[in-house]
Amino acid sequence: VDNIKVILIFPKTGQDKTISLSPPYAILSIASQLNPRYQVIVIDQRIHHNWKNRIRKNISEDCIIGISSFTGAQIKYGLEISEFCKNLNPNIKIVWGGIHPTLMPNQTLQNKYIDIIVRGEGEITFPKLVECLAKQTKLKTIKGISFKQNGKIIHNTGREFADMNKFKQLRWNLVNINDYVHKASVIEGTGKTFDIGQTSRGCINNCKFCVNSCYNKSQWRCFSAKRTLKLIIDSVNMLDIKTIWLRDDNFFLDTKRVKTIAQGIIKEKLDISWYSSGITIPNYKKMDKNLKKLAYKSGCRSFRFGIESGSPRILKLINKPFNLQDIHNTNNNLKKYNISPKYSYMCGFPTETKSDLLMTVKLMHKLKKENKKAENYPMTMYMPYPGTELFDLSIQHGFKAPRKLKQWSQGIHFMSKNLNRLEYIDKDVKKILNNVSDLSYINSMQIKRALSGKLNKALMPFYAFEKFRWNNLLFSFAPELWLYRKTRNILLGMN
Ligand code: B12
């Protein structure tokens, strides 16, 4: 029993060439909690192009395969891997975990290549499952899993959230950590960046499109300030990096904790800059002057806010906890602190009209005019996620939700091919949606960061032309974007 082997696999995501890779925290965190007497192998399909050989070499009769998945292209790759493993040995147990199986347990288990799913956080459940499979005891006793038995799907009761501070430290030796240092930073003028993952989980807001409300039940929990600081210090010591990226959904919720972390960075003289994508407008409002100054002093150079829409009606519909005035106040206030605000947006909501959509573009223009340091991220396409309130509204407006697991992977986030499937989107919006979204990308720093300096230089005339389009809202007829899309999909490996 002790020679059981666990192979944990992080499938490709379908966007792996756009952004520098972040460590596969989902499986790394679980792998680190396993009893060290079990052999564990971590395969990152985004990096290990020879993944098939790695699996072949390691697979054995007593082996357990764990596969991570969130909604989107990752499912397709996860299924390819599952099929490959089952073909090598049909007796091997395939376990899926992650957001998608948690939200869609039945549909996931209906797939013939998947035997068991872990719902929610895996740090406690997965080691218990491995123990159970090793000792061949009954699956029924393990909280937080669903499985198939004699053709029937059985859902055990759920597991409560874990105390993150009890997790064992990450076993970095399971991956080649240097693979995950980003060459560039989103903070201009600083260098190599490392994504240290989530130092807290969840978010207390109930934005109606976000999986947080159902996946994390709107509950927030965190690593202590001390543990977070150690994680930062270890990363700086381990790697040649200049910038730290904190991936929390809501890093600034506990301002006392942020203060202790910032003070720690200063005390340790780490000489890094850092930024967080987990800030909300209400949290920013709650931060006092001193904390903002302290954040800057400790190296904080950027906050990234999820703005989503410039239409007051849409902001209400999706239940964002702020209004347009709050956005402008924040944008203006940040000028005092030399911290660059970055804004994310979405498009293609159910009931969104052309005028709502154009309000978002105009807001993007305005925020940049208001604050020279403001940066707009490209608009991303809204995708109805099961379990959220906006999913139900999308269904009411004609969304035909995929009936099979695989269909959730069909490039839903890049609408060029699939716009027709999204029946809930207004006809007039559909006519320009692809163009607006693509132009938001072409007019962002994201594309420039993804491409080399030479290529960017060669593309200057193209950028200039598309900037003119973007600034003048010329969205209806843009034949040149056809060529752009073809090239993009090939270069960036998008599907
Ligand atoms: C990092 C990240 C990415 C990275 C990819 C991941 C990586 N490591 O490189 C990149 C930048 C590529 C990315 C892209 C996108 N992302 Co993203 N991303 C994240 C983020 C910020 C952190 C994920 C993470 O590392 N979490 C920490 C780990 C420890 O937690 P975890 O992944 O949930 O894993 C735990 C459990 O789920 C479970 N588990 C997971 N896998 C497994 C496997 C097994 C075997 C077991 C037993 C358990 C298990 O156990 C883990 C430990 O508790 C999350 C936010 C979030 N709240 O998670 C969004 C999030 C996952 N992303 C999201 C979205 C929407 C996107 C994009 C669509 C954005 C866009 N419009 O372009 C794209 C699409 C990618 C695609 N599928 O096609 C959504 C997904 C919603 C959903 N239904 O799946 C999230 C939840 C953000 C949100 N709140 O909406 N993302």
pLDDT, one tens digit per residue, over 210-230 is: 999 889 998 999 999 999 999
The CA 464 to ligand 1 mean position distance, Å, reads 35
Among the residues of 34-182, which ranges form H helices? Answer: 51-58, 73-88, 99-103, 105-109, 125-135
Atom of ligand 1 minimally distant from the CA of 30: 52
Q: Are strands 273-279 and 243-246 parallel, antiparallel or unpaired?
A: parallel
State CA 255 to chain mean position distance.
Answer: 24
The CA 68 to ligand 1 mean position distance, Å, reads 9
Residue 104, SS3 per DSSP: coil
Q: Identify which of 187-191, 331-335, 433-437 has the greatest average pLDDT.
A: 331-335
**pLDDT for 412:** 57
- Ligand 1 pocket, 29 CB below 6 A? yes
- Ligand 1 pocket, 121 CB below 6 A? yes
Q: How far apart are CA 353 and CA 370, in angstroms?
A: 26
**pLDDT for 277:** 83
Per the listing, tokens 């270890």 go with: 234
Q: Are strands 63-68 and 5-10 parallel, antiparallel or unpaired?
A: parallel
The CA 71 to ligand 1 mean position distance, Å, reads 8
- Ligand 1 pocket, 207 CB below 6 A? no
Residue 202, SS3 per DSSP: coil
Could you tell me if 359 and 324 are in contact, meaning their C-beta atoms sit under 8 angstroms apart?
no
Tens of pLDDT, residue by residue over 467-487, are 999 999 999 999 999 999 888
Q: How far apart are CA 158 and CA 366, in angstroms?
A: 46
Q: Whose CA is nearest to atom 71 of ligand 1?
A: 380
Q: How far apart are CA 415 and CA 264, in angstroms?
A: 44
Q: What is the DSSP letter of 420?
A: G
Q: Whose CA is nearest to atom 34 of ligand 1?
A: 26
Tens of pLDDT, residue by residue over 365-391, are 999 999 999 999 999 889 888 889 999
Beta bridge partners of 340: 302
The CA 158 to ligand 1 mean position distance, Å, reads 20
- Ligand 1 pocket, 334 CB below 6 A? no
Residue to probe by mutation, ligand 1, list 85, 99, 215, 250, most atoms within 8 Å of CB: 99
Residues 6+ apart with CB under 8 A from 492: 15, 17, 18, 450
**pLDDT for 418:** 64
**What one-letter code names the amino acid at 73?**
A
Per the listing, tokens 């459940």 go with: 125
pLDDT higher than 80, residue 311 = yes
Q: Whose CA is nearest to atom 56 of ligand 1?
A: 249
Residue 371, SS3 per DSSP: coil
- Ligand 1 pocket, 70 CB below 6 A? yes
- Ligand 1 pocket, 167 CB below 6 A? no
CA distances from 407 to 15, 73, 120, 153, 322 (A): 17, 9, 22, 21, 35
Where does the pLDDT of residue 495 fall: very low under 50, low under 70, confident under 90, or very high at 90 and above? low
**pLDDT for 72:** 86
